[in-house]
Structure 1
């Protein structure tokens, strides 16, 4: 019987292919960015009236009404007639959005009520914030 000799084969440097791992990381990153809910800030911080009972609430839409009765959404002022398409576009991004209206203590009640009625017409759970 012929005996085979075992020869050693030189080891080659092995490299890990990182491409599939990077693909998975980027897909996860895109998934979390797309599914996250961003809070729309009003752009101003009105002086609010005081309340006797204050409960914590985390809305995703913040609307502010200042003393000049300007309605601020996402750092831009609007009138009551202009906010319906703005709120609809926010609802398209996040259908289960809840809203809070922060009104200055010197703002007209009629303006705040108009905003609240509009939000109710659109089916948004809305509260009026106080200090």
Structure 2
């Protein structure tokens, strides 16, 4: 009695579901990723009807919230720490722009203090960040 042997099929792994999952993940991350100019800091910039100025290649971004909190980039800082940081940049201060992004509700005195701090640290390029106005300027 001779038994017939079954023919062995090659074991194959179907890659289609895995490729589908990878593409779905790629699409999910592309859609959910946002490019935020001020990450984690709630600042409403004042509006300006003046045209925007091209950004300088090097700049130091300092954020001032309406509660008076100061951020150097993404990191919270104090006025004394900011002063120490700016003093360390004194040698290159002529080529670096000091960009102050202050909330429209921030105290005017604090804005002036930060700009004065940058000026005394040797920065000659000072800028205040604004948003483009939705109203047309008078001509």
Please report the TM-score for the alignment, with normalisation by the length of structure 1.
Answer: 0.59
Measured after TM superposition, the shift of residue 110 of structure 1 is 0.7
Partner of 2:74: 75
Greater shift, 112-121 or 47-56, is seen at 47-56
**1:49–1:90 Cα change, 3 Å:** same
CA distance in 1, matches of 2:54, 2:116: 20
CA distance in 1, matches of 2:65, 2:115: 15
The answer to whether 1:100 aligns with 2:99 is yes
Q: Secondary structure of 1:81's match?
A: helix
CA distance in 2, matches of 1:102, 1:54: 17
Q: How does 1:47-126 map onto structure 2 within 5 Å? A: 47-59=44-56, 60-91=59-90, 94-95=92-93, 96-124=95-123, 125-126=125-126
**1:57–1:123 Cα change, 3 Å:** farther
Runs of 4+ in structure 1 over 6 Å off: none
CA distance in 2, matches of 1:113, 1:122: 14
Q: CA RMSD in A?
A: 2.2
CA distance in 2, matches of 1:46, 1:98: 20
The answer to whether 1:46 aligns with 2:43 is yes
CA distance in 1, matches of 2:38, 2:88: 15
Measured after TM superposition, the shift of residue 82 of structure 1 is 2.7
Q: Secondary structure of 1:99's match?
A: strand
Measured after TM superposition, the shift of residue 128 of structure 1 is 1.1
| Gap regions ≥5 residues in structure 2 | 1-36, 132-139
| Gap regions ≥5 residues in structure 1 | 1-40
**1:108–1:50 Cα change, 3 Å:** same
Partner of 1:129: 129
Q: Secondary structure of 1:62's match?
A: strand
